[in-house]
Amino acid sequence: MKKKTAWEKLKCGKSPKIVEDYKDGPMLVSTPEEVEREVAKIPKGHVITLTQLRDELARQHGAALTCPMSTAIFLNVVARAHVEREAETGKPGVPWWRVLRANGKLNDKFPGGAAEQARRLRLEGLELNS
């Protein structure tokens, strides 16, 4: 069986789900495509944290929270898919590098690690703390 590309994983066609009986209230399990749409809204020169991304997705669905594990995985799928597409087209796609870890630090699990995320943010004129 052929291994799926990141782009195929991104464009999976799944629908968001709400887990109603989660201990802290209804929990959203989003989708890679929904995460992609939200990341696409981040303006040049701005960053958000993964927590802010999750909070916005939960708000849109009327949920108490968004699953932190699946959202982090989906964000990584988005990043890898757009790096794949960028290699093919020469265009960067959605600005996945504008999403910082929940603690505000760079994400070493992104394609190219924290160094690549820092490089892309600096290209947008952002100053980074060491």
Does residue 35 lie in a domain region? yes
- pTM, rounded to two decimals: 0.93
In which domain, by residue range, is 112 found?
Answer: 16-123
Residue 1 has what pLDDT?
A: 83
* CA 97/CA 16 separation, integer angstroms: 23
CATH of the domain at 34: 1.10.10.10
Q: Indicate the number of domains in the chain.
A: 1
pLDDT score of 130 more than 70: no
Give the tens place of pLDDT for each residue, 22-66: 998 999 999 999 999 999 999 999 999 999 999 999 999 999 999
Which residues are registered as beta bridge partners of 48? Answer: 99
Does residue 95 lie in a domain region? yes
- Average pLDDT value for residue range 97-114: 97
Q: Residue 47 has which token pair?
A: 């960053």
* CA 40/CA 92 separation, integer angstroms: 11
DSSP code string of 17-62: EEETT-TTS-EEE--HHHHHHHHHTSPTT--EEHHHHHHHHHHHHT
Does residue 4 lie in a domain region? no
- Residue with the two structure tokens 């699946």: 70
